[in-house]
Chain A
Amino acid sequence: MQIQLWSIIAHVINALILYLAFRLWLYKPVKKVLDERRRKIVDERNEIEAMNEEARNMKMHYDQVLARAHEDAARITTEANERSKQKAAEVIEDAKRKGQELIAQAQRMADLQLEEARQNARRESAQLVIDLTEKMLARHVTLGDHENLVKQFMDGVDGK
């Protein structure tokens, strides 16, 4: 088999031409497209990373805000409970005080009424005794009693 030099050279030249042609019209545009796409992907990835970072920061911020809100809510609830307990204690204490005042007032009124009733009873009893005594004396008094009384009157008249 005879090797034809010119044929080989032609093939080599042909291959070189094809290589150059491919490189010029196919490889470079495709590489350019691929580079562009790679760059775009990198940009998008960076953008996504930036967005993720921003989202993480926002989440952290919101978590802190939420935690503070929980703390504030717990504090407000605790303070409200304390105020409610204090208010309830004040209301109970006030009610006790007023109740004791009412009881004391009722006791004073009862004592006054009892004392008044006692005085009325004593007054009525005394009145009754005097009335009865007067009637009995009027029935049983004698002239002798009268004269004795006149004598006593004259003995003590300058002392009256």
Chain B
Amino acid sequence: MTRGILTSAFEPSPETLDAITRRFTKLLSDDVLLDVVIDARLIAGVTVDIAGRLYDGSFKGQLEQLRANWIG
């Protein structure tokens, strides 16, 4: 069992939480349990911090990536 943190800009629906959990279970080839945190600073989207790695699917993360590319 691998535990992780799902941070979401909005409260995820049970279906969404289940889909994300299954996706990471398949990815890590292990049972996954996600703790949910709501953070409006993400603007939209989610991040998953699991197995020592941060998977970022949020607008905030995209903006940060953009900032890093432009500003350095």
Contacts and interface: CB of A to CB of B under 8 A. Distances in A.
Given A130-B63, A133-B63, A141-B43, A149 B57 contact: yes
Contacts, number: 68
Interface residues of A, number: 23
A9 interface: no
A57 to B, nearest CB: 97
Interface of B: 8-10, 12, 16, 19-20, 23-24, 27, 40, 43-46, 48, 55-60, 63, 66-67, 70-72
Given A126-B70, A130-B70, A157-B27, A149 B58 contact: yes
B71 A123 contact: yes
Interface in A124-160: 126-127, 130, 133-134, 137-138, 141, 143, 145-147, 149-150, 152-154, 156-158, 160
Nearest to A119: B72
A134 B63 contact: yes
Contact of A149 (B59, B66, B72): B59
Nearest to B24: A157
A126 B59 contact: no
Contacts of A126: 67, 70-71
Contacts of A141: 9, 43-44, 59
Contacts of B16: 147, 150
Nearest to B60: A134
